[in-house]
Amino acid sequence: MKHVAILISGTGSNMETLIHAMQGDFPARPCLVISNRIDAGGLAKARLLGVPTHVIPHKNRTREDFDAELAATLTRVAPDITLHAGFMRILSPGFFDAFSGSMLNIHPSLLPKYPGLNTHARAIEAGDSEAGCSVHEVIPDLDAGPLLGQARVPIHANDTPETLARRVQAREHELYPKVLRRYAIGDRTPLMI
Ligand code: GRF
């Protein structure tokens, strides 16, 4: 059974579906939710679901200082896997000395297209016919780690970034638990759904 920490910054809808998935014969269990924002909506959801939470504020401190506290917290809790789920922080390269190979992220685009922000607006603006989401290993380069899974959706002619984001998010909630289940038993082959 793998122990899983989840990093969030906001609503935590991916976190919620991941926590719901991790029961019964699922080969992983949530051990801690960490947020860099005290006002992250996901914190209350995690507590309601019985998962301990911890806040590490990022304001008024250096990136190195924040990363050191995050690293110390993760070292203390010692999760087997750490999931970024709407965690809006870039980690300094030094962080990866201890934690590379055990961190996953979900990104709302068909990587390698559109790393970074505003993915849906960029896909619509480019005239793409499809969008989607990707789960990948976290490495120091932003949204560039090995791909573990991808889910696709069509882009409709009347889509706005908001309508597309909703369609993609429904697929995020499907993809992330499926990829985690495979990752937890050592399967790193990309899942395309
Ligand atoms: C998701 O769209 C995810 O792909 C991106 O941030 C968003 C987080 O949403 N990285 P939520 O907090 O899981 O609801």
**Is the pLDDT reported for residue 100 higher than 90?**
no
Looking at residue 180, its pLDDT comes to 98
107 lines ligand 1 (CB under 6 A): yes
Cα 56 to Cα 6, 25, 78, 155, 164: the distances in Å are: 13, 32, 17, 37, 31
Looking at residue 48, its pLDDT comes to 98
Omega prior to 161 cis, within 30 of 0: no
Number of the ligand 1 atom closest to the C-alpha atom of 41: 12
Q: How far apart are CA 167 and CA 6, in angstroms?
A: 23
16 lines ligand 1 (CB under 6 A): no
Q: Is 107 a catalytic residue?
A: yes
* Residue length of the chain: 193
Residue nearest to atom 7 of ligand 1 (CA): 86
Mutate to test the pocket of ligand 1, among 9, 18, 133, 172 (most ligand atoms within 8 A of CB): 172
* Tens of pLDDT, residues 6-22: 999 999 999 999 999 99
Residue nearest to atom 12 of ligand 1 (CA): 12
Q: What percent of the chain has pLDDT over 90?
A: 96
**Catalytic one of 58, 107, 120, 136:** 107
**Is the pLDDT reported for residue 98 higher than 90?**
no
* Tens of pLDDT, residues 22-61: 999 999 999 999 999 999 999 999 999 999 999 999 999 9
